[in-house]
Structure 1
Amino acid sequence: MSAPSPSAVQSSRSNGLPLLSPQATAKIDARTRRPRVLLIQTQAENAGAQEISRLVAGGLTSRGYDVHNLYFFRQSASFAPPPNTHYCVAQRPSSILALARFLWKLRQQIKELQPDAILTFQHYGNAIGGVMARLACRAPVIANQVSARAAMAPWLQLVDRIMGQIGLFSCITVNSHDMLHDYARYGGLYQKRLRHVAHGFDQKVSELSRAEARRALGLPETGVVLGSAARLHPMKQLDAAIRVLPGRPQWRLALAGQGPDEPRLRQLAAELGVGDRVHFVGEIAPTQVGDFLAALDVFVFPSLAETFGLAAVEAANAGVPVVANDLPVLHEVLALNGEPAAVLVQAADTAALSAAIDRVLTDHDLRQRLQHNAAGLRARYSVDAMVDDYVKIIEETL
């Protein structure tokens, strides 16, 4: 027998009939309220993974879901939180006691929010968020693999593999076919839970001219400006972009982002005698990315490992020629109908990287072909298509 409707409950009250039990009323409320989806992220900052969770949250909200965002802690002061954002702790735990408090708070917040489905992001978000979610409630957990295995410690890879095999994750999404092939090596139940959901992205546009954009960012208005937007981390191999500058005195490099590798990058620039030509712009908000891209002649993306390469896709689609590290996933993602939308090269080879940048700057036909192919990436990586895929997965798990 199906549960009575809310109108039936009201009718029983108005006619003096016995009221429904609290359990029956709770079942009715659960059926009539919007499904609540909780997105669990690691640190709150302006980076690629956070951009994807923001887009997913906005898309699910527009489709009628009650969406909440839970971050472990806030990393960046300039981070603009989406609606219904919660933080576990004020800063990254730095002691055993602080870690214990953080885990307890994470479990409590998940329990209090009572989600119907949980999406976790990044490797620590999946591992820590997945375990605490299972301890807090029975909502299905959808893990989002947006971290390359090369960027994960061996013990964390093992934890992730076990969690997928034993069913702590109801579904595991990957954002490229290269990732799908890589994680399929785990086999068994892990492989059966894998789903390919390509990243979508917002087109990054600017109303500023190149000179205006450079002025706004404190960059020289004339000359060649290379740039990259990434977390300043050794895995991004941004030192490769700095190493091309000594042989090209007319080039400058603008780096947008923050992270632990900044002191080393500054020291390298000083040692190479190019400190005055490397501009650390700092972290920029998603709304400023378009202005940053408008200031550049070439976008350099020398990352050692990627699962998608969102920053490079955004730059290429904005019309900025991209020179990136030769990774298999970038052959897949930075292409349209088999035609490249970027120049891929071994970025650790300074001479090869420099020559590729020089070619993009001087070969007008090449630049036009890259821009033509990149213009179609927005249709290939639609935000609506990404959100629709998540809706299907959520409905299946519910």
Structure 2
Amino acid sequence: MTSGARNRPLKLLFVQTQAEMAGAQEISRILGEGLAALNHGGEAVFEVEHLFLYRKTAAFDAMPGAFFVSRERPSGPLALAGFIWRLFRMMRERKPDVVLTFQHFGNIVAAPAARLAGVPRVIANHVSAPATISPAVRLIDRLIGRIGAYDVITANSRQTWNDYQDYPATYARRLVLVPHGFADRSSNLDKKTARSAFSLPEDAPVIGSVARLHPLKRLEHALQIMPSLPECYLAIAGQGPDAERLKSIATELGIAERVHFTGEMEPERVGDFVAALDLFVFPSVAETFGLAAVEAAQAGVPVVANDIPVLREVLEVDGRPCAALVDTSDIAAFSATVAELLADRDRGAELSALGRMLSKKHSREAMIDTYRGLIEGEGAPAQAGKTSFAGAASTNA
């Protein structure tokens, strides 16, 4: 499937579950932006639109080419039926050549709708950690993947790819490893100016995190180390269902005056926020990639992250970790690691230098090129029992 054969750009429709600033949405945004910028002989190769199943925040209200199936998450049988009908109708009206679905609900809801609407190619993307997916959703995904609702299924890390290796061959043969690329979050602001922009203290040590405020991000562990770091401030950027609980914990611990919740943040401001930090902390227990930690490390800010397999994978360069990895549920060990790294400037500089090399390992251009091939029908697995490692070093049989 090539745009040249059709004498017009291929129409791509990206489908996300909810509209909010989070890692999966950021990946689809920069991927769509990169694909839309491609041209051949001065003509656009792809025409890109983004469809969100429902609106959670105002994050994408002004984004060109962004649409919502529903302004709210549907609840109840009648609302769900109306929602599915609108999704089907919107796909029929837009007539995309390729639909790319993201997250578990995006995959299991939008892929069947795309097939019913006559979309010739569907690429599903696994960007939800297994801990966030219910058994019922996993069962539906497994079933529709086996019967061909997806032409290709991408995984964004080897750890995520490994999570699907016990699936039937008719599902597994569609899997392709496409490591995430990301936007450079380096800022032009110096630390003093960046701190002023976010009302952070100029002279005190400041640690921080960027995350969706969800229980699986375990941001309470970042709060719990603060009593043992009395001179330190904590800044948390993001929104989500765990916000009020986290604020209550800060109050209970007596640290509320040293904790700053900035709320949801536009991608363009994330780099400035990270520039204000002495250290980035990432205690999450459920990731498929850990985009925020990778972005912070590449921006040159030392990172302390939870020691889980996927973060070990993505936060290393040439076999060397570019973050301090620790069991962040061990509050004493977490606190000690943060204190040591704040005090050890040489170690911080070493991690910073390694982190800046992540842009080569997780290349945005390589991700865009790989997706272009998958969209145009190149590089997808063709035999049962074969799994492709697109953009990776090897192919696994």
When normalised by structure 2's length, the TM-score is 0.90
CA contact (8 A) 2:229 2:339 kept: no
Equivalent residue number for residue 45 of structure 1? 20
1:43-72 per-residue CA deviation (whole Å, 9 max, x = no partner) reads 111111111101111111122111111111
Does the Cα contact within 8 Å between 2:186 and 2:298 map onto a contact in 1?
A: no
Deviates more, 1:322-331 or 1:78-87: 78-87
Contact 1:253–1:278 under 8 Å retained in 2: yes
Q: Which runs of 5+ in 2 are unaligned?
A: 39-44, 381-397
Q: What's the offset of the Cα at 1:129?
A: 1.1
Q: Measure, in 1, the Cα distance between the counterparts of 2:376 and 2:81.
A: 34
Q: Does 1:269 align with 2:250?
A: yes
**Alpha carbons 1:79, 1:285 under 8 Å: kept:** no
Partner SS for 2:226? coil
Matches within 5 A, 1:54-133: 54-63=29-38, 64-79=45-60, 81-133=62-114
Equivalent of 2:233 in 227, 246, 252: 252
Is 1:207 aligned to 2:207, yes or no?
no
Residues 88-97 or 343-352, more deviating: 88-97
Q: Secondary structure at the match of 2:85?
A: helix
**Map of 1:24 onto structure 2:** none
- Aligned position for 1:229: 210
Task: Give the Cα separation in 2 of the matches to 1:221 and 1:127.
Answer: 48
Q: Tell me which residue corresponds to 1:314.
A: 295
CA distance in 1, matches of 2:102, 2:154: 10
Shift of 1:361: 0.8
Structure 1 unaligned segments of length 5 or more: list them. 1-27
Matched, 1:183 2:158: no
Q: Is the 8 A contact 1:301 1:322 kept in 2?
A: yes
For 2:63 and 2:371, the matched residues in 1 are separated by 18
Q: Report the 3-state secondary structure (helix = DSSP H, G, I; strand = E; otherwise coil) of the residue aligned with 2:74.
A: coil
Q: Which residue number in structure 2 is paired with residue 152 of structure 1?
A: 133
> Which residue type is aligned with residue 260 of structure 1?
P
Q: Which of 28, 36, 45 lines up with 2:11 in the alignment?
A: 36
| Cα drift, residue 209 of structure 1 | 1.8
Does the residue aligned with 1:232 lie in a helix, a strand or coil? Answer: coil
Greater mean deviation of Cα atoms: 114-123 or 95-104? 95-104
Matching residue of 1:22: none
SS at structure 2 position matched to 1:273: coil
Residue-pair matches, total: 371
Residues 144 and 215 (structure 1), Cα distance of their counterparts in 2 relative to 1, 3 Å cut: same
SS where residue 88 of structure 1 aligns?
strand
CA RMSD across the alignment: 1.7
Structure 2 contact 326–337 (Cα < 8 Å) conserved? yes
Give the superposition deviation at 1:112: 0.7
1:268-316: CA deviation from partner (whole Å, max 9, x where unpaired): 1111111111111000000000110011111000001111110000000
Higher helix share: 1
Of 177-186 and 88-97, deviating more is: 88-97
User: How big is the shift at 1:319?
Assistant: 0.8
Which piece of structure 1 moves more, 135-144 or 349-358?
Answer: 135-144
SS in 2 for 1:300: strand
- For residue 218 of structure 1, give the secondary structure of its aligned residue in structure 2: coil
> Alignment partner of 2:70: what SS?
coil
Question: Per the alignment, do residues 74 and 240 of structure 1 end up closer, same or farther by CA in structure 2, a change over 3 Å counting?
Answer: same
Among 360, 370, 384, the alignment partner of 1:389 is: 370
- Partner residue in 1 for 2:123: 142
CA contact (8 A) 1:184 1:194 kept: no
Q: Deviations over 1:180-222 (max 9, x none)?
A: 1221221411111000101111101222221211111122222
